[in-house]
Amino acid sequence: MRLTADERDYLYRMAGHAVPDRLSTTDHVAPALRRVFDRLSDTPALVISNLGETLVQNALAAALLGDNAGATGWERYEPFRWFVFAETERQRYPEQDRPRHSRAQVAGLRAALGSMGPRSRAGELVAELLQRSHEFRQLWDRQEVAQRFADHKVLIHPEVGAVEVDCQVLFTEDRAQALLVLTPEPRSEGEEKIRLLSVLGMQQFAAGGR
């Protein structure tokens, strides 16, 4: 019948049936996002899935956020790293911002679960976190639902210190993937630190490294 996804969902509901899940996880980056991403070399940028998988990131994003594109298993997923490896994963955020980020992680995962369904990878991730994190269980009970949106962030880098950036997000039409672009205010200290990171890259120095 060549129906759009919305038309298909409408027919299922009119017939009294549950709507099939639209989303599934994939390592393939949406072509439109990839074309934009490939033009971003002077500011941190990355493409993530709706479960927080880093599908691709440029050198500046790896330097600022850590190199997560090659992670495997449950460590591929940002919510898992955030709640299970909290001692190391949260060092890149100021302590006062961590509770807000925890809530955002849970709310985003609940939104993904609503789109993908309980038998999806999202459901498996939720079940894993409910078993492994008391903090996650408490936040999950709050029933908050939200996807990523534009935000102001302060990120802590072990070499250059605190870096202030604005996070802008471009979603695919089905919201299964998102391009995150982190930009400092022009002529700010944050811009100078991003420029320094482009020189330092992933290097760690004995005097200031972890």
- In the chain, % helix, strand, coil (3-state, to 5) comes to 45, 15, 40
Is 104 part of any domain? yes
Q: Is residue 15 part of a domain?
A: no
Rounded-to-integer distance, Cα 97 and Cα 101, Å: 6
The count of residues in the chain is 210
pLDDT, position 3? 53
Domain count within the chain = 1
Task: Return the residue matching tokens 């299922």.
Answer: 12
CB distance 116 to 21 below 8 Å: yes
Task: Evaluate whether 157 touches 189 at the Cβ level (below 8 Å).
Answer: no
Residue 193 lies in a domain: yes
31 located within any domain: yes
- Read off the CATH number of the domain in which 179 is found: 3.30.450.180
In a domain, 61, yes or no: yes
Strands 151-157 and 161-171: antiparallel
Q: Is residue 1 part of a domain?
A: no
pLDDT 10s digit of each residue in the chain, 210 long? 555 555 555 565 556 666 555 444 556 899 999 999 999 999 999 999 999 999 999 999 999 999 999 899 999 999 999 999 999 999 999 999 999 999 999 999 999 999 899 999 999 999 999 999 999 999 999 999 987 666 899 999 999 999 999 999 999 988 899 999 999 999 999 999 999 999 887 565 434 443
| Both tokens assigned to 160 | 């250059």
pTM of the model: 0.81
Distance CA 65, CA 90 (A): 11
Classify residue 16: in a domain, yes or no. Answer: no
Q: Where are the beta strands (DSSP E) in 63-203?
A: 151-157, 161-171, 177-183
Rounded to the nearest angstrom, the gap between the alpha carbon of residue 56 and the centroid of all alpha carbons in its chain is 11
**By residue range, what is the domain housing residue 150?**
27-200
Which residue from 8, 48, 6, 42 is spatially nearest to 30, judged by alpha carbons?
A: 48
Residue 8 domain flag:
no
Give CA–CA dist 47/56, Å, rounded: 5
